[in-house]
Amino acid sequence: MSAPSRSRRTRAAAPAGPDARGTEIEVEVGPVAHGGHCVARHEGRVVFVRHALPGERVIARVTEGAEGAKFWRADAVRVLEADADRVEPPCPVARPGRCGGCDFQHVTLARQRELKAAVVAEQFRRLASLDVDVTVEEAPGSPDGLRWRTRTQFAVDAEGRPGLRVHRSHAVVPLDDCPISTAAVVGSGVLGQRYGNVETLEVAAGSDGAAPLVVATPAPGTRAHLPKLPEASVALRTPEGLHRVSGRTWVGERIAVRGREHAFRVGGAGFWQVHPAAPELLGEAVLAALEPRAGERALDLYSGVGLFTALLADAVGAEGSVLAVEGSERAVRDARKSLHELGQVELWAGAVEDALADPELPARGTDLVVLDPPRSGAGRAVVAGIADLAPRAIAYVACDPAALARDTAFLAERGYALDGLRAFDLFPMTHHVECVARFVRAA
């Protein structure tokens, strides 16, 4: 083998310079950016500042970065000129260097929604070359932005204390309470305890009123030691699956949309929308976007335990059909138990991209598609597979505006245009926002 040419040799990157962490700088804060921070500049360098608001002048302490780096990350540790929408965070650990679970506790709720709308619009301009006019709608049930989170994952520190991590860190802030988690999650008794050989604790509280479920994940190769949790069901997550300790290994959920009620079984603290209002709010938004007709054929991608599957089945009726595709076998098993009375529903277990490429997929002639992908989005291959089915309408449920905007551009390449966009504040106090987009074939 001949030696590689000099032009193809790789060189080690030049050192960025001395560590700048801990350096304090005075900056004027610029616009909000995707990720829960605002953009500032200092001596020509971009600085991503948390705990700030656009237009403020603050002292920011660098948390990541070196002297030669193109950008730094920082926390606003002192406010020199405050915005009128700045408030005192309701949680004592929602502070610089403390819990990283919330991004906007220092901001009024109305302004939080304005910031999220600005982020959605900026992502669509940048990634889809579209100007969108979007308002982030308040979700019912959490007027103060607290006690809405029905599912929370806590980390456990080296001393066995549960809590949440510092932003972009493995360090754990021990907690006795989490003000954005529901009373049922906190009432499980999981906080303020000591655990042995446990890495994480997932707590899920269903809407059926039963005891919340606590799922503990032991450190690899160890035996977990758990305190008594009489107010909760308890299970261990092991490489072999869930092991029941007490109570049941699933959570019950109930919804009512357009006069029809459905009950769902969600196993092992599996995926379900975390805001209590979200399932019905998003379900209604999806139905409004698709306007299903009796007898139509619908495809539900990333279907989970079947939330949208059930609603579409109601809408298309017994003479229609709904094919649901989901990659989690546990979720598909739960969906079978929840939807067994709906004869027009077919469940397909497997990766969405594989299913769309499978010639055996019984989805040809599909009229409607709904997809609710993970935070990373659907991607080009899935978008192409959907477009090949030529549905008359697509409803895309997204928890990340950047992924949605990117996939919007992919859909445009395949002849589908954005025809409607709604956004919902289903994650108050954080930078997250949920969107429902409607796409139709471009004229």
Instruction: Give the residue numbers marked as catalytic.
Output: 399
Work out the angle at residue 186's Cα, subtended by the Cα atoms of residues 182 and 190, and round it to the nearest 5 degrees: 145
Q: How many CA atoms lie within 13 A of 149 on its CB side?
A: 22
Task: Please name the residue that has the structure tokens 């029941």.
Answer: 244
Please name the amino acid found at residue 393. A
Pairs from 31-35 (Cβ < 8 Å, separation ≥ 24):
31/118, 31/122, 32/115, 32/118, 32/119, 33/119, 33/122, 34/119, 34/122, 34/123, 34/401, 34/402, 34/431, 35/431
Round the CA-based radius of gyration of the chain to a whole number and report it. Answer: 24
| Residue list for the binding site | 273, 302, 326, 372
| Residue list for the binding site for S-adenosyl-L-methionine | 273, 302, 326, 372
DSSP E strands, 82-211: 136-138, 151-156, 162-165, 172-174, 198-204
**CA dihedral sign, ordered 355, 389, 334, 398:** positive
30 and 48 Cβ atoms separated by less than 8 Å:
no
434 and 399 Cβ atoms separated by less than 8 Å:
yes
Cα distance between residue 347 and residue 263, in whole Å: 17
74 and 62 Cβ atoms separated by less than 8 Å:
yes
